[in-house]
Amino acid sequence: MAHESGDLAALTEISEALALELDSAQLAQLSAYASLLFKWRSITNLTAAKNTLQFVREHVVDCLAVVPFVNARRLLDVGSGAGLPAIVLAIACPNLHVTALEPRARRARFLTQSKIELGLDTVEVCCARVEAHKPSEPYDVVISRAFSSLEQFVLLTEDLHGPRTRIVAMKGAVNAVDLAAAEQLAGPGQVVALDVPGFEHRNLVIFEPGRPRQGAAGQT
């Protein structure tokens, strides 16, 4: 179909712009994910995008830009919604085990269907609130694109932080007051500006709560 070829062309352009080495099968999976999402729009409101191409250029691209910062074995996407970034990262990083945590049942069903139809064996869908999630072992990365508050994101995921866990928040502009409040909980945060095609301001805010804080050495 014409829109699918347009999606593939856009995805190829985006992956090249981001210097990602995605093969034809991965690009086809990303296109199929966008198509599947639009098939589910009548069941649950997954996106405000008007078509799959807009969805690719406004949402998939944003998640693909995170790939270089997800060098991990186990990742948790908190409030995954339509699978952003969980499904995109699972496709782009086939060796990454991704848990998509989504409390809304209809969206969790969509995520489960995506896992099945796209053949994403590394994806686990968990329909629960973050406060109720009890993983068998800590995650390497806890990420979210949905939290408006950095402080709340750090606070609500506190029980999921292992000694090597990185907390990664996908943000537009970063509010200095919110960042300072989050740093009171998790220690210094690193703000990384992303160059995302089509976006003027995109940032990652990264916390490493298990990292020794400056000046902590020698304290008892």
Tokens 């629960």 sit on residue: 128
Alpha carbon distances (Å) from 213 to 52, 54, 185, 188: 44, 42, 12, 8
pTM across the whole model? 0.92
Residue 149 lies in a domain: yes
pLDDT band per the 50, 70, 90 thresholds, residue 1:
very low
Evaluate the CA torsion angle 200, 204, 124, 22 in order and state its sign: positive
Residue 108 lies in a domain: yes
The sheet carrying 123-126 orders its strands as 123-126, 97-101, 74-78, 141-144, 166-171, 202-207, 189-194
Residue 197 lies in a domain: yes
Q: What CA–CA distance (Å, rounded) separates 7 from 38? A: 13
How many C-beta neighbours within 10 Å does residue 208 have?
A: 18
Task: Write out pLDDT tens, residues 95-148.
Answer: 999 999 999 999 999 999 999 999 999 999 999 999 999 998 889 999 999 888
Residue 199 lies in a domain: yes
Q: Quick one: how far is CA 114 from the chain centroid?
A: 15
For residue 182, the enclosing domain spans 62-207
pLDDT band per the 50, 70, 90 thresholds, residue 184:
very high
Q: What CA–CA distance (Å, rounded) separates 147 from 196? A: 20
Residue 8 lies in a domain: no
When divided into structural domains, the chain yields a total of: 1
Q: Which pLDDT score, from 0 to 100, does residue 77 have?
A: 98
Residue 85 lies in a domain: yes
Residue 144 lies in a domain: yes
Q: Which pLDDT score, from 0 to 100, does residue 45 have?
A: 81
* End-to-end Cα distance, the chain: 66
Residue 93 lies in a domain: yes
Beta-strand pair 202-207/189-194 = antiparallel
Q: What CA–CA distance (Å, rounded) separates 48 from 56? A: 12
Q: What CA–CA distance (Å, rounded) separates 82 from 165? A: 24
Report the SS3 class of residue 126.
strand
Q: Which pLDDT score, from 0 to 100, does residue 5 have?
A: 64
Task: Write out pLDDT tens, residues 143-183.
Answer: 999 888 999 999 999 999 888 999 999 999 999 999 999 99
pLDDT band per the 50, 70, 90 thresholds, residue 22:
very high
96 sits in the region (left: phi over 0; alpha: psi -120 to 50; else beta) called: beta
Task: Write out pLDDT tens, residues 31-90.
Answer: 999 999 999 987 778 888 899 999 999 999 999 999 999 999 999 999 999 999 999 999
Return the CATH number at 174: 3.40.50.150
